Amino acid sequence: MDLKHKLEILADAAKYDASCASSGAARKDSRGSAGVGSTGGAGICHSYAPDGRCISLLKVLLTNTCLYDCHYCINRRSSNVQRARFTPDEVVRLTLDFYKRNFIEGLFLSSGIIRSADYTMELVIDVARKLREEHHFRGYIHLKTIPEASPALIEMAGRYADRISINIELPTQQGLTKLAPEKNLARTQEAMGHIRRKIDERHAEKRQPGAPKPPPFATGQSTQMLVGADDSTDAVILRRADVLYGDYRLRRVYYSGFSPIPEPSSLLPIKPPPLVREHRLYQADWLLRFYGFKVDEITTDAAPNLDLQLDPKLAWALRNRPTFPADINKASREILLRVPGLGVRNVERILGARRHTRLRLADLLRLRVPMKKVLPFIIAADHTPARLGLDDDALRARFLPPPKQAELDFDAPPPVAGDIDSVRSGEL
């Protein structure tokens, strides 16, 4: 098989992995696809560097042959797809060729598991080692690691990579037992804990005054969780994400809506979840990490899934009307962060500006705050919200998209890292 053909197969097989890329890209449905990567161009996807830059990566698998039989995966042992395998030298050559031509700024490398987890991990590391040590490659490298591989190999991957990731795939052991019988949640979390300790150690070494510069190590780790492949609710998914952020200090949890694969397993649902579910999970994730929300506030026992029609912050505000209106000239930072439409940056600006003046609506307009969303929830120097006789349902109805728009929203590709920038600038 020539290199181009292998690239087509192995780039297409890699597109299901969202743990490096904006899944705001085209739908990952493989049926009838022409073998493009997650954002178009053979195997080239976009990701975000630790400093926030959007970078292009060559995103490929070393091989799509796999010993495991994860039901949701097109590369599973029992799948009837054409198999291909790069040698480490071929991946090195492709990466350098694309890099020198400015097509890419780095490499995202994952692999199906061949022979054993350690053997596969060694091949993946070999690619990164050759790039760094033999070719002095300065681009970005993201390596997918295998939780079953030995800790020494995972550590070695961290030495060559800027970022490493281990996919948790499903939020519960129960889900894994059903859909990915060879995978184990505790073992995956153990591997994440090991990476976290290594990253912490490296930070501590860097802070030692006068100590020699420690060898490089990945600056962070990320993971991917599938949405809609099993019956886990959003509450279960977000609780797992909360543990991963808290206990293992993951940089990002990527939520990837389960997408149909050719010849699917009978254990999988027939239809993928609505795209908007993935989007709502990203919004909720942002609330957990930057807005001080707890999972049990975003979802409830009565409603364990996120409202698909309203963003989770607005939905929370509508469930907690007594908290509002919040006086933007007096309310604490914590309360302001809970006002629908006020993002982290605008809250900081409000807190800074109100030391000098009493804020009026015109000041919020200057900050480009979405006024329609904010007005029912705030008091300003020249504004007290009229209740307009609205009960909770009537207020909710004001924020629902018109039916046509709702349909469009449901079909729109879910933004991820980039979209979150719009969240950051105040949309939530």
Binding site residues, ligand SF4, CB under 6 A: 66, 68, 70, 73, 75-76, 112-113, 180
Q: Nearest approach, Cβ of 70 to ligand SF4 (angstroms)?
A: 3
CB of 293 to ligand SF4, least distance (A): 31
Cβ atoms of 389 and 397 within 8 Å: the answer is no
Q: What is the 3-state secondary structure (H, E, C) of 303-372?
A: CCCCCCCCCHHHHHHHHCHHHCCEECCCCCHHHHCCCCCCCHHHHHHHHHHCCCCCCCHHHHHHCCCCHH
In Å, the largest CA–CA distance within the chain is 72
The smaller minimum CB distance to ligand SF4, of residues 73 and 109, is found at 73
CB of 182 to ligand SF4, least distance (A): 7
State the minimum distance, in angstroms, from the CB of residue 78 to ligand SF4: 9
Closest CB to ligand SF4 among residues 73, 107: 73
Dihedral angle of Cα 198, 202, 207, 213, to the nearest 10 degrees: 160
Q: What share of the chain is helix, strand, coil (3-state, %, to 5)?
A: 45, 10, 45
Residue nearer to ligand SF4 on the CB measure, 58 or 180: 180
Q: CA 414, CA 428: separation in Å to the nearest integer?
A: 15
Question: Given the DSSP bridges, would you call strands 54-61 and 44-48 parallel, antiparallel or unpaired?
Answer: antiparallel
Instruction: Pull the structure tokens for residue 315.
Output: 């939905």
Cα gap 302→228, rounded to integer Å: 19
Residue 112 CB, nearest distance to ligand SF4 (Å)? 4
Q: Residue 380 corresponds to which tokens in the numbers above?
A: 């300003």
Residue with smaller CB distance to ligand SF4, 123 or 347 = 123
Looking at the Cβ atoms of 77 and 132, the one nearer to ligand SF4 is: 77
Provide, rounded to whole angstroms, the least separation between the CB of residue 62 and ligand SF4.
Answer: 11
Q: Based on CB atoms, which residue is closest to ligand SF4, 77 or 396?
A: 77
**Kind plus residue range of the DSSP H or E element containing 417:** helix 417-422
Nearer to ligand SF4, 109 or 113 (CB): 113
Q: Least distance (Å) from ligand SF4 to the CB of residue 68?
A: 4
Query: Do 7 and 43 meet the contact criterion of CB atoms below 8 Å apart?
Result: yes
Neighbours of 214 (CB within 10 A): 13
Q: Which is nearer to ligand SF4, 167 or 299 (CB)?
A: 167
| Residue 347 one-letter amino acid | V
